[in-house]
């Protein structure tokens, strides 16, 4: 069986770090991840995905990230349920994070925070370069659309190597893997 999730997005709020009764650290956060397509109004939407990370990585994640941080996570989808105080069964689906990567420098992260001081807590762009506004499907606020195929500060301001710059590419059939 395979259960693997890899996401890139921005934190909608600071990670919430807690400790279990046995002393294990656990951090929970929500990641805003833009969809690849537009809705009927031509606007991009985002998904807001609940995540949890455990032990020492949870402490590191909480220490080095904050609301608006651009991160990549790798983990697995987990569904669990519990009975709330009203006796109702509540189902929770979340990503249990195994690994994470910080996808922008501290200075880029601070620059983003300065440029978006009143950014809604409901979501952020998966790419720090704003293009157009999109509706948040979960209420008020907006999220910026990604700029795929353009220069990105998260990638060191390097241009997309696959854009057509007029240069010929010489590939023979022997070079192809299929």
Q: What is the pLDDT of residues 106-129, one digit of tens each?
A: 777 777 777 766 554 433 343 333
Note the pLDDT tens digit of each residue in 10-53: 999 999 999 999 999 999 999 999 999 888 898 889 999 999 99
156: its two tokens: 């060191």
Does the pTM surpass 0.75? The reply is: no
- Domains of the chain, residue spans: 5-159
Top-level class of domain 5-159: mainly beta
**Per the structure block, which two tokens stand in for 96?**
């249990």
Encode burial over 67-82: b for 16+ CB neighbours within 10 A, e otherwise. bbbbbbbebeeeeeee
Average predicted confidence (pLDDT) for the chain: 76
Coil/strand/helix, residue 115: helix
- For 171, the token pair is 């590939």
- 60 to 26, 63, 70: CA distances (angstroms): 11, 5, 15
């Amino acid at each position: 069986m395979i259960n693997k999730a890899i996401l890139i997005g921005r934190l909608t709020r600071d990670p919430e770090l807690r400790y279990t009764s046995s002393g294990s650290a656990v951090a929970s956060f929500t990641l805003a991840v833009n969809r690849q397509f537009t809705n009927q109004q031509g606007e991009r939407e985002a998904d807001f995905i609940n995540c949890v990370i455990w032990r020492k990585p949870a402490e590191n994640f909480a220490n080095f990230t904050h609301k608006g941080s651009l991160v990549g996570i790798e983990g697995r989808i987990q569904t669990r349920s519990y009975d709330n105080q009203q006796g109702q069964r509540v189902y929770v689906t979340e990503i249990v994070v195994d690994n994470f990567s910080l996808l922008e420098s501290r200075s880029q992260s601070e620059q983003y925070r300065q440029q978006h001081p009143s950014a809604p807590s409901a979501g952020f762009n998966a790419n720090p370069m704003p293009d157009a506004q999109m509706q948040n499907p979960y209420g008020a606020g907006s999220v910026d659309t990604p700029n795929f195929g353009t220069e990105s500060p998260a990638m060191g301001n390097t241009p997309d190597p696959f854009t057509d710059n007029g240069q010929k590419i010489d590939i023979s059939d022997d070079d192809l893997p299929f």
